[in-house]
A and B are shown apart, each in its own frame.
Chain A
Amino acid sequence: MAILLIAEHNNQHLKGETHKVVQAASAIGGDITVLVAGANCAGVAAEAAGIVGVSKVLVADDAIYQHQLAENIAALVTELGKNYSHILAAATTTGKNFLPRVAALLDVAQISDVIAIDSADTFVRPIYAGNAIATVTSTDSIKVLTVRPAAFRAAETGNNAAIENIAAAADAGMSRYVSEELTKSERPELTAARVVISGGRGMQNGENFALLNGIADKLGAAIGASRAAVDAGFVPNDMQVGQTGKIVAPDLYIAVGISGAIQHLAGMKDSKVIVAINKDAEAPIFQIADYGLVADLFTVLPELEQQLG
């Protein structure tokens, strides 16, 4: 079995999701080739070659891959992919963008957001916002999968795989990068953080999210939000945890002023320990929380920050 895995990176660094996809690929079994497509991405290739389990790294270094436009990446992956039995990418906005395009060009199905590998052709994935778990089997000649990073641990580093440069495919010319507006944050990335503290509608406004900062600093936590908080304009959308936002599974998830709608739970209910702080004792979040505190968040948060010392 030969597995092609597309690395997730920002041209400077490999993202942590890639290590998790390598772990998933190892569960399939077979030679793992990692493709790094980007611009001036030699450093990323070196990082990828260091992941245990990777046998080879292919580098397509070209300006057309700088912003990972789906049309160009898909053309390259489709051409390469014909020689592999499995093609994997992380179920991030990047992977979700180009991989279905690859699958259609190869005329095979894609299996999205895989959370467990049963065998080389049988995979497990959540449906209905995580309220049902489907086991599916594929007889396609090439299995195309996006992998949910939160469901796998990161593969170790300390390897030294061979790195090979490959030629870029032709520019598809259908799309052009215009601009990017990235949220600046010193905190760990939401999907990789060991602790996540999220605020909901109960935070009342954007300024109050500052109450979470001190606690997040002390716990080394990332800060997330419910859709209600994002829609109300309290915080930017890339902080959203849920079915349509990010899926996280940290060791500790602290939900503050979040009622616990199905769509939010879809994004965090696989966390190891869940804490809910809400003044409504009937809020659905308490049904899944390991520890619940029924109290006003405006008195609890400062106290919590203080007690974390």
Chain B
Amino acid sequence: MKILVPVKRVIDYNVKVRVKADQSGVDLANVKMALNPFCEIAIEEAVRLKEAGSATEVVAVSIGPVAVQEQLRTALALGADRAVHIETTLNLDSLQVAKLLAKVVGEEQPGLVILGKQAIDSDNNQTGQMLAALTGMGQGTFASKVALQDGKVAVTREIDGGLQTVELSLPAVVTTDLRLNEPRYASLPNIMKAKKKPLDVKAADSFGVSLTSNVTVVKVSAPAVRQGGVKVESVAELVDKLKHEAKVI
């Protein structure tokens, strides 16, 4: 069985983002970029399934400018077998991304697609669900455990009140939550080997998918800044302030 893992290049999660002065977006010039943390977990899960003998091939795919090849090489160094780069300089929304991925699913015919639950830049949490809809597959979102057996996949999901387990017929779409696994580091020899692994480049407009979105960003502003507070000296002072100044208890 083949596993397809869509990955995204995003701003490094440790970077404190800055909103541009003209409110057109956030400043991404000269900022450290990385593989989205949830995508890293998705790659790790796919590689573990391959190591366990449940999968035969792991294919990583990413959509964006040439720079995303850097993240695809990371995915290859982590254990993916080959990569597909869908090249575009457009800033696509989840729906357009899901439509392109649905075409890749059509070409590659994977038994399982594993994505991160959300990208830490747009914080949308949509692509996996949309891809499942467009390909008519079942979905196991926010997975903290994935178990393959007898042509089905059991997914334990992190839900608001606790955990829920669902069973899906394959092929299916799974999106990863933080606690699914602890991703490995790419070793230097594996980084070197990853440079020789196949990476296909395809133009996004060659898929026959409309890439225009009906959603436009009007402006991006900085959130309201909280006023720096005071430090109190004792518990008694804290309780007094909460009672009489803030009036919250």
Which positions in A face B, CB cutoff 8 Å? Answer: 67, 69-71, 74, 92-94, 96-105, 107-113, 122, 126-140, 172-183, 191, 195, 219, 227, 230-231, 236-238, 243-244, 246, 251-252, 262-263, 269, 272-275, 281, 286-295, 300, 303-304, 307-308
Q: Give the shortest distance, in Å, between A269 (CB) and chain B (any CB).
A: 7
What are 20 of the A-B contact pairs (CB < 8 Å)? A70-B139, A93-B158, A100-B125, A100-B130, A102-B133, A104-B133, A132-B222, A135-B220, A136-B216, A138-B216, A139-B214, A175-B167, A237-B158, A252-B242, A274-B226, A274-B229, A275-B242, A303-B235, A304-B238, A307-B235
Pairwise interchain contact A179-B122, C-beta atoms closer than 8 A: no
User: B55 on the interface (CB 8 Å rule)?
Assistant: no
Q: Give the shortest distance, in Å, between B84 (CB) and chain A (any CB).
A: 21
Complex CA distance for A29 and B138, rounded to whole angstroms: 35
Pairwise interchain contact A308-B163, C-beta atoms closer than 8 A: no
User: B29 on the interface (CB 8 Å rule)?
Assistant: no
Pairwise interchain contact B95-A108, C-beta atoms closer than 8 A: yes
Q: Mark contacts of B222-249 with chain A using CB atoms, 8 A cut-off: 1 yes-contact digit, 0 otherwise.
A: 1100111111101110110110001011
Instruction: Kindly list chain A residues whose C-beta atoms are within 8 Å of the C-beta of B90.
Output: none
User: B195 on the interface (CB 8 Å rule)?
Assistant: no
Instruction: Kindly list chain A residues whose C-beta atoms are within 8 Å of the C-beta of B163.
Output: 180-182
Give the one of A67, A127, A173, A274 with max B CB within 10 A: A127
Pairwise interchain contact A175-B168, C-beta atoms closer than 8 A: yes
Q: Give the shortest distance, in Å, between A223 (CB) and chain B (any CB).
A: 15
Known A-B contacts A101-B132, A180-B163; A291 and B246 likewise in contact (beta carbons under 8 Å):
yes
Known A-B contacts A286-B231, A300-B235; A231 and B166 likewise in contact (beta carbons under 8 Å):
no
Pairwise interchain contact B94-A195, C-beta atoms closer than 8 A: no
Instruction: Kindly list chain B residues whose C-beta atoms are within 8 Å of the C-beta of A99.
Output: 129
CB contact between B249 and one of A92, A108, A195, A292 (< 8 Å): that residue: A195
Which single residue of chain B is at the shortest CB-CB distance from A277? B238
Pairwise interchain contact B120-A129, C-beta atoms closer than 8 A: yes
Pairwise interchain contact A127-B122, C-beta atoms closer than 8 A: yes
Q: Give the shortest distance, in Å, between A185 (CB) and chain B (any CB).
A: 9
User: B207 on the interface (CB 8 Å rule)?
Assistant: no
Q: Which of B13-21, B43-51, B66-74 contacts A (4 or more CB under 8 A)?
A: B13-21
Pairwise interchain contact B242-A307, C-beta atoms closer than 8 A: no
Pairwise interchain contact A111-B215, C-beta atoms closer than 8 A: yes
Pairwise interchain contact A177-B125, C-beta atoms closer than 8 A: no
Pairwise interchain contact B238-A243, C-beta atoms closer than 8 A: no
User: B134 on the interface (CB 8 Å rule)?
Assistant: yes
Pairwise interchain contact A244-B177, C-beta atoms closer than 8 A: yes
Complex CA distance for A188 and B52, rounded to whole angstroms: 42
Instruction: Kindly list chain B residues whose C-beta atoms are within 8 Å of the C-beta of A179.
Output: 164-165
Which positions in B face A, CB cutoff 8 Å? Answer: 11, 13-14, 16-17, 19, 26, 93-95, 98, 117-118, 120-134, 136-142, 144, 154, 157-169, 172, 177-179, 213-223, 226-232, 234-236, 238-239, 241-242, 246, 248-249
Interface of A is mostly: mixed
Pairwise interchain contact A238-B167, C-beta atoms closer than 8 A: no
Instruction: Kindly list chain B residues whose C-beta atoms are within 8 Å of the C-beta of A139.
Output: 214-216
Complex CA distance for A299 and B123, rounded to whole angstroms: 39
Complex CA distance for A129 and B223, rounded to whole angstroms: 11
Complex CA distance for A46 and B236, rounded to whole angstroms: 47
Pairwise interchain contact A238-B238, C-beta atoms closer than 8 A: no
Pairwise interchain contact B249-A136, C-beta atoms closer than 8 A: no
Pairwise interchain contact B133-A137, C-beta atoms closer than 8 A: no
Complex CA distance for A133 and B94, rounded to whole angstroms: 18
Known A-B contacts A140-B215, A178-B166; A104 and B249 likewise in contact (beta carbons under 8 Å):
no
Complex CA distance for A93 and B124, rounded to whole angstroms: 13
Pairwise interchain contact A127-B123, C-beta atoms closer than 8 A: yes
Complex CA distance for A230 and B159, rounded to whole angstroms: 15
Complex CA distance for A271 and B172, rounded to whole angstroms: 39
Complex CA distance for A287 and B72, rounded to whole angstroms: 37
Complex CA distance for A140 and B212, rounded to whole angstroms: 12
Pairwise interchain contact A293-B223, C-beta atoms closer than 8 A: no
Pairwise interchain contact A134-B141, C-beta atoms closer than 8 A: no
Instruction: Kindly list chain A residues whose C-beta atoms are within 8 Å of the C-beta of B178.
Output: 227, 231, 244
Complex CA distance for A120 and B246, rounded to whole angstroms: 36
**What 9 additional pairs, Cβ within 8 angstroms, besides A103-B95, A290-B230?**
A69-B166, A103-B130, A104-B129, A133-B221, A174-B136, A174-B168, A238-B159, A292-B232, A293-B231
